[in-house]
């Protein structure tokens, strides 16, 4: 492989690398896990405070702030030759500041195929293409075997409390819901809208998912939503399995299949 090489990210930005990147910073938790699974642990020098997988390995890396609050001095000290971010999870002003002096590769994920493309492209840019191909082929195969709920189940997916925020359309969670046969009753809204108790009651979903992230919904919150929608089935779900678009997608189909089966069984009883 000859250098310098120019790569194009998922936002259409072009970055030119003078040599194989050896000092990588990841600004996105799900992509951090992917980089480790590609075998790049020795080349990762910095991660965010929200990067939680793989648990022990990320503890050994420098923290460069949050996904929407970069510590620029910490980043400069690490002297990265490649920074990997995401359009939605990071903030535009911070990314633009980093782009002034660093090679920043950005992902932009809405559906599963976007995530698989991201894996392929990161494999190319880090010379781990064979491992990336292995991962994405396995993920594609497992999702192909995923059988959606039938008939589709009217669903509200909550990501926040006080104020209530749900998943609208045009994002990876909505895509995952559709693949599972969970019909998003707030898909007529864009992205992640705030909704009122009255709007939830008017939507009258058969199923309400309370995500474990970004708001840490727990079993104790079920009664609150059950009171608003007494006829709905309310379940706490693992938000990482619906929203992480890195190598955690390897585990997602089995988890989603278990949720589909649980929902179908409980709605029939």
Q: Which long-range contacts (CB under 8 A, 24 or more apart) does 26-29 make?
A: 26/51, 26/83, 26/84, 27/64, 27/67, 27/70, 27/83, 27/84, 27/85, 27/86, 27/89, 27/90, 28/67, 28/84, 28/85, 28/86, 28/89, 28/90, 28/107, 28/246, 29/53, 29/67, 29/89, 29/244
Residue 87 and residue 108: Cα distance in Å, rounded?
Answer: 5
Residue 269 has pLDDT above 80, yes or no: no
- At residue 246, the pLDDT reads 97
Name the pLDDT band for 57 (thresholds 50, 70, 90).
very high
Q: pTM (2 decimals)?
A: 0.94
Q: What pLDDT, in 10s, does the model give residues 114-163? A: 999 999 999 999 999 999 999 999 999 999 999 999 999 999 999 999 99
Q: How far is CA 99 from CA 18, 23, 208, in A?
A: 16, 16, 40
Residue 204 and residue 197: Cα distance in Å, rounded?
Answer: 11
- At residue 1, the pLDDT reads 74
Name the pLDDT band for 77 (thresholds 50, 70, 90).
very high
Percent of the chain with pLDDT over 70: 100
| 8 A C-beta contact, residue 210 and residue 217 | yes
Rounded mean pLDDT, 170-176: 97
**Residue 90 CB neighbour total at 10 angstroms:** 24
Rounded mean pLDDT, 165-191: 97
Name the pLDDT band for 268 (thresholds 50, 70, 90).
confident
Q: What pLDDT, in 10s, does the model give residues 82-115? A: 999 999 999 999 999 999 999 999 999 999 999 9
Average pLDDT, the chain: 97
Q: What pLDDT, in 10s, does the model give residues 192-251? A: 999 999 999 999 999 999 999 999 999 999 999 999 999 999 999 999 999 999 999 999
- At residue 233, the pLDDT reads 98
């Amino acid at each position: 492989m000859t250098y310098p090489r120019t790569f194009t990210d998922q936002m259409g930005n072009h970055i030119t690398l003078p040599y194989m990147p050896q000092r990588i910073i990841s600004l996105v938790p799900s992509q951090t896990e992917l980089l480790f699974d590609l075998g790049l642990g020795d080349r990762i020098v910095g991660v965010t405070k929200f990067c939680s997988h793989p648990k022990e390995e990320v503890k050994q890396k420098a923290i460069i702030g949050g996904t929407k609050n970069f510590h620029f001095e910490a980043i400069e000290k690490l002297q990265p030759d490649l920074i990997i971010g995401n359009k939605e999870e990071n903030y535009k002003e911070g990314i633009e500041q980093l782009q002034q002096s660093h090679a920043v590769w950005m992902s932009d994920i809405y559906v599963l195929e976007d995530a698989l493309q991201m894996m392929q492209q990161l494999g190319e840019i880090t010379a781990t293409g064979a491992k990336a191909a292995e991962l994405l082929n396995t993920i594609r195969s497992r999702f192909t075997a995923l059988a959606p709920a039938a008939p589709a189940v009217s669903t509200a997916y909550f990501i926040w409390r006080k104020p209530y925020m749900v998943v609208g359309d045009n994002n990876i969670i909505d895509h995952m819901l559709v693949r599972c046969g969970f019909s998003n009753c707030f898909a007529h809204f864009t992205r992640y809208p705030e909704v009122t108790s009255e709007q939830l009651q008017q939507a009258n979903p058969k199923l309400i998912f309370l995500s474990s992230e970004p708001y840490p919904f727990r079993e104790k919150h079920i009664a609150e939503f059950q009171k608003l929608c007494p006829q709905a089935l309310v379940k706490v779900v693992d938000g990482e399995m619906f929203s992480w678009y890195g190598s955690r997608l390897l585990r997602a189909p089995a988890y989603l299949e278990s949720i589909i089966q649980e929902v179908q069984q409980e709605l029939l009883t």
